[in-house]
Structure formats: C-alpha cells, structure tokens
Amino acid sequence: MRKALFLDRDGVINKEVNYLYKIQNFEFIAGIFETCKFFQQRNYLLIVVTNQSGIARNFYSEEDFIILNDWMLHEFEKQAVKISKVYYSPFHPKYGIGKYQQDSWCRKPNPGMLIQARDEFNINFCESILVGDKESDIEAGLNAGVKLNILVRSGHKVNEGSTKANAIIDSIVDLPNCVHSFGFINYF
C-alpha cells in the first residue's frame, strides 16, 4: 500500500479567493512547492481534494475549472512536483443549480474524494496526511480514516477551540516539522 499527502486547494495550495477560476487571480502560497517536494522525496503521493461549489452555483463552469486545474498542474510540473490526481466536487446541497444541487458523497466533509483516491491508488490511510484550511476538510479526513489531519491558518479563519484536527500550523512550510513531531517522517 502507498501513503499520500492530501491537500485542499484554496487556502492550502493557493491564496484564498472566493470562487477562483481565473489564472490571473491564482497565487501560490509561499512554500507550497518546497513542501510538496519534501513529501514527494519521501514517497508520498500528492493528491488534491477540493470542493468547487462555484460550479454548482453557476459562477463558473467545469470547463473553467479544468482550464485552471491544468495550468496549476503544469506549474507544479515546472517545479518538478508531480500531483498524482486532483479530485473535485462540483456540488452544493443548498445553493447548487440543476444537477449540481445535491449533498454528494464526494463533497467534503463527506469522505468520497478520499475514498476514490484510496481505491484508485491503493492508499493506506494510516500512513497518510490531510492538510486543509477548514473544519470540513478535517472532518472529511476523519470520516475517511486518514490518520493525521492538519489545519493550516493560511486560508479561512480557524476556530482553534473546536477543531478536530490533530494539529494547527501557521503555514504549509511548517508541515514537515509538524508531521515529524507525530513520528510520521524523519529527515534522513
């Protein structure tokens, strides 16, 4: 079985912008490439799991999302970082329009995207890590059985008193030290 680093997109990989779909509004969070390389060198698959309710709300199309996603993946490739796959949920149970109005099994906090990744890549959740900027990210990891769920302060406001996260970090660059403190990795 393999291990994975699951990353939310908005607020973890890029700076939070509500309903981001334009390349010119996409700004990578400082340290994301270096952090991904660190885990990649330790044989973690890098997998993105992202809710995209802007599609459900008809703010942008799935095609718009795919164009931005392909650009993002190319930027990672230019930095010698391989994202194994991006899973996304285009649904919203309340504000979705048409076929997108549903409480989908793949919409976080539901575990569907993580389960799909587990099944597709033979991932061991007991050796895997999830990083998100919202409690729904953490809940998805817990609902799937991911062993280590980390909340990062670089996106949404964090309610530290009520989080179910194993740890809270200020920045994605803090992730290696945080994960090391849980005994998941070493630096050698």
Q: Distance between CA 76 and CA 60 in Å, rounded?
A: 23
Instruction: Classify burial at 67, counting beta carbons within 10 Å of its beta carbon; exposed 0-12, middle 13-18, buried 19 or more.
Output: middle
Q: What's the pTM? A: 0.96
Q: Is the pLDDT of residue 154 over 90?
A: no
Q: Is the pLDDT of residue 188 over 60?
A: no
Confidence at residue 147, expressed as pLDDT on a 0 to 100 scale: 96
**DSSP conformational letter for 2:** B
Q: Distance between CA 184 and CA 51 in Å, rounded?
A: 27
Averaged confidence pLDDT in the chain: 95
Amino acid at 135: E
Q: What angle do CA 169, 39, 66 make, to 5 degrees?
A: 90
Domains and CATH numbers, the chain: 9-127 (3.40.50.1000)
Query: For this structure, is 10 an active site residue?
Result: yes
Q: Distance between CA 150 and CA 142 in Å, rounded?
A: 11
Q: Which one of 10, 133, 137, 174 is the catalytic residue?
A: 10
What totals of helices (H) and strands (E) does the chain contain, helices first?
6, 6
Q: Which one of 8, 133, 137, 174 is the catalytic residue?
A: 8
